[in-house]
A and B are shown apart, each in its own frame.
Chain A
Amino acid sequence: MNIRKKWGMAAAGALLASSLALAGCDQSNDGGKAADSEPAGSNQKSVTISYAIWDKNQQPAMEAIAKAFTGQHPNIEVKIDAIPWGEYWTKMSAAAPAGTLPDVFWMHGGQFIKYASGQFLAPITDKVQAGEIDLNNYASNLGSIYTMDGQNYGIPKDFDTIGLAYNKELFDQAGIAYPNDTWDYAKLAEVAGQLSQPDKGIYGFGAKMDTQAGYWNDMLANGGHILNADMTKSGYDEPASIEALKARYQMILDKASPTHQQMTDTDSVEMFKSGKLAMIFDGSWDNGNLASSDIIKGKYDWAPLPKGKAGRGNIINGLGNVMSAKGKHKEESWQFLKFLGSKEAAEITAQMGAAIPAFQGTQDAWVKSKPDLNLQVFIDQAADATPYPSGSKSYPVWFAKEGEIMSQAWGGAISIEEGAKKVAEMMNQAIADAK
Chain B
Amino acid sequence: MNSKSRYAWAYLMIAPTLIGTLVFWSWPAVYSIYLGFLKSENFGLVSHWVGLANYERLFKDAEFWQNLRNTMFYVVLFVPATIVLSTLFAVLLNAKIRGRSIYRVIYFLPQVTMAAAAAMVWVIIFAQDYGLLNSVLGTHIAWISDKRFAMYALVMVGVWGSIGFNMLLILAGLQGIPRPLYEAAEIDGAAGFRKFRSITLPLLTPTLFFTSIVLVIGATQIFDSIYLIIGKTNVALPAVRSLVYAYYQNSFIYYDQNYGAAIVNILLLINLILTGIQFLLQKKWVVYD
Contacts and interface: CB of A to CB of B under 8 A. Distances in A.
Interface in B37-84: 42-45
A264 B32 CA distance: 34
B25 A264 contact: no
Given A10-B279, A14-B271, A18-B264, A407 B221 contact: no
Contacts of B225: none
A201 B214 CA distance: 46
B271 A17 contact: yes
Contacts of B28: 18-19, 22-23
A17 B24 contact: no
Given A15-B25, A17-B217, A264-B145, A10 B255 contact: no
Nearest to A393: B41
B44 A97 contact: yes
Given A17-B220, A18-B265, A261 B128 contact: yes
**Could you say which of B43, B248, B268 has the most chain A C-beta atoms within 10 Å of its C-beta?**
B43
B238 A408 contact: yes
B252 A90 contact: yes
Nearest to A208: B233
Contacts of B187: none
Contacts of A20: 221
Contact of A407 (B44, B234, B247, B255): B234
Contact of A13 (B127, B213, B255): B213
Interface stretch (A185-193, A381-389, A395-403): A395-403
A14 B214 CA distance: 10
Contacts of A411: 145, 234-236
Nearest to B217: A17
A6 interface: yes
Nearest to B268: A18
Interface string B239-258: 00000100110001111000
- Max chain B CB contacts within 10 Å: which of A19, A114, A264? A19
B275 A10 contact: yes
Interface in A384-435: 396-397, 400-401, 403-404, 407-408, 410-413
Contacts of B236: 411
Interface string A11-50: 1011111111111110000000000000000000000000
B235 A261 contact: yes
A209 interface: yes
Contacts of B247: 21
B29 A18 contact: yes
A96 B43 contact: yes
Contacts of B140: none
B147 A413 contact: yes
A230 interface: no
A18 B264 CA distance: 6
Contacts of B254: 397, 400-401
B135 to A, nearest CB: 16
A86 to B, nearest CB: 9
A97 B40 CA distance: 12
Contact of B232 (A7, A14, A22, A404): A404
B142 interface: yes
Interface string B215-239: 0010011010000000111111110
A18 B267 contact: yes
A403 B279 contact: no
B26 A15 contact: yes
B279 A6 contact: yes
A21 B233 contact: no
Nearest to B123: A265
A238 B78 CA distance: 45
A207 B276 CA distance: 51
A117 interface: yes
B272 interface: yes
A11 B272 contact: yes
A371 interface: no
Contacts of A117: 42
A18 B235 contact: no
B235 A413 contact: yes
Contacts of A307: none
A312 B183 CA distance: 86
Interface in B110-158: 123, 127-128, 142, 145, 147
B213 A261 contact: no
A97 B233 contact: no
Given A14-B275, A19-B26, A24-B252, A410 B220 contact: no
Contacts of A120: 43
B253 A407 contact: no
Contacts of A114: 42-43, 255
Contacts of A157: none
B279 to A, nearest CB: 5
Contact of A396 (B45, B237, B255): B255
Given A15-B26, A403-B232, A404-B232, A10 B42 contact: no
A245 to B, nearest CB: 16
Contact of A16 (B25, B32, B147): B25
B45 A13 contact: no
A141 interface: no
Contacts of B232: 403-404, 407
Given A118-B45, A261-B142, A264-B145, A22 B32 contact: yes
Given A15-B25, A15-B29, A97 B45 contact: yes
25 contacts: A10-B275, A13-B213, A13-B275, A16-B217, A17-B217, A17-B221, A18-B265, A18-B267, A18-B268, A20-B221, A22-B32, A23-B28, A24-B248, A93-B43, A94-B252, A114-B42, A261-B128, A261-B235, A264-B234, A397-B254, A401-B254, A404-B232, A407-B233, A407-B234, A411-B235
Interface of A: 6-7, 10-11, 13-25, 90, 93-94, 96-97, 114, 117-118, 120, 209, 260-261, 264-265, 396-397, 400-401, 403-404, 407-408, 410-413
Given A19-B29, A114-B42, 10 more contacts: A14-B217, A15-B25, A18-B268, A20-B221, A90-B253, A114-B43, A118-B42, A397-B254, A403-B233, A404-B233
